[in-house]
A = this chain, B = another copy of it.
């Protein structure tokens, strides 16, 4: 059986208060007893019970994290950053993979609440009203990582998607491309759909290129969908010379499609991605892309959540981290 503070007290011939003090304020107990207690702790392998402590401190030093799709490598960097920040703050992470399933997400909020997490980090995906209400219901502090919610005042940390997309497309234009297609996220229910599309349009507009809505095609989140979307897009528009893909995974889907149909990238077509996931530099060709500081977004988001938990508020509500154009091999001068 696990040993308790009582066992330690008995073994060391002191009261439990003394044992507790040895652990929490060692200098208030006289040396002689202190060493006896320490010895007892060592012998009995005593470790305080987190439940009992939680009951008193009313906190678990645990943070809940919602990930929409853990197989998407984009989240790996995010998680690493969060983890490192958590370690620094002496906290633990409870991670849950929602699979973008509403029921599951809401069920997890409840679990988190019952397990007394101190707060929740919500990554990517747009914040449905239901989620928001669920969080409000339980009054759980939470922050948004790699997404934001324009309609609510919720702390968030992400990047400027529109600006990133703008720079990506601008890069293509500066390379001489004029017929530029896009593989976008669906516009409605996805958070980076709108702004990245807006950035694309903005760049075209700025360089006086007419935007033809034919030249955009939509895909859900995965490689396969982008592959299929490419098929539809190229069937419709044959004169495209470059593609702006809303994510690196999409870019890989596009390139795979092109390769399967005998068009090499970047010789016959330039493709730029978004995110700079680790695979971007492992892929052949290495992807030109917009780098997101995923590690930092993760790190900052737990710092921010911690700030929110301890202060009840947050110094800056919506935090935008810097992105960066990374030029590799998948784009070239026309």
Cα–Cα, bound, A137→B46 (Å): 10
A188 to chain B, nearest CB (A): 26
User: A176 in the interface, Cβ–Cβ < 8 Å?
Assistant: no
Could you tell me if B87 and A104 are in contact, using CB atoms closer than 8 angstroms?
A: yes
Question: Per-residue 0/1 for A114-154: is the Cβ within 8 Å of any B Cβ (1 yes, 0 no)?
Answer: 11100000000000000000000111000000000000000
The answer to whether B284 touches A71, judged by C-beta atoms less than 8 angstroms apart, is no
B45 engages A282 (CB within 8 Å): no
Query: Contacting chain B: which of A5-13, A92-100, A311-319?
Result: A92-100
A76→B77 CA distance, assembly (Å): 12
- Bound-state CA distance A79–B92 (Å) is 17
Any B CB within 8 A of the CB of A262: no
| A255 CA / B79 CA spacing, docked (Å) | 28
Roughly how many angstroms separate A272 CA and B278 CA in the complex, as a whole number?
21
Known: A138-B45, A282-B223. A115 touches B259 (CB 8 A): no
Q: Which of B93, B110, B283 contacts A95 (CB 8 A)?
A: B93
Q: How far is the CB of A79 from chain B (nearest CB, A)?
A: 5
The 3 lowest CB-CB distance pairs between A and B, nearest first, are A51-B54, A71-B76, A51-B55
Instruction: Give which listed residue, B73, B110, B111, contacts A73 with CB less than 8 A.
Output: B73
What B residues does A278 contact at CB under 8 A? Answer: 71
User: For the complex, what is the distance from the CA of A239 to the CA of B132, rounded to whole Å?
Assistant: 62
- B-contact 0/1 string along A43-87, CB 8 Å cutoff: 001011111101100001010000000110100110110010001
A111 and B96: CB pair below 8 A?
A: no
Q: Which A residues fall within an 8 A CB radius of B?
A: 2, 45, 47-52, 54-55, 60, 62, 70-71, 73, 76-77, 79-80, 83, 87, 92-97, 104, 110-111, 113-116, 137-139, 223, 249, 252-253, 255-256, 259, 278-279, 282-284
**B-side contacts of A110, CB under 8 Å:** 47
A97 and B80: CB pair below 8 A? yes
Given A97-B80, A259-B284, A137:B252 Cβ within 8 A: no
B contact residues around A104 at 8 Å (CB): 87
Let me know if A45 and B137 touch, CB within 8 A: yes
A sample of 12 cross-chain residue pairs with beta-carbon separation below 8 angstroms, ordered by A number, consists of A45-B137, A51-B54, A51-B55, A60-B115, A73-B73, A73-B279, A87-B104, A94-B95, A95-B95, A223-B282, A279-B282, A283-B283
CA A259 to CA B45, docked complex, whole Å: 56
Q: How far is the CA of A96 from the CA of B93 in the complex (A)?
A: 7
Establish whether residues B284 and A256, one from each chain, have CB atoms under 8 Å apart when the complex forms.
yes
B73 touching A76, Cβ below 8 Å: yes
* In the complex, chain B residues whose CB is within 8 Å of the CB of A45: 137-138
Contact check, B60 vs A49: say whether CB atoms are below 8 A apart: no
Q: Give the Cβ gap from A280 to chain B, nearest Cβ, in Å.
A: 11
B residues near A77, Cβ cutoff 8 Å:
71
Determine if A97 and B73 form an interchain contact, defined as CB atoms under 8 angstroms apart.
Answer: no
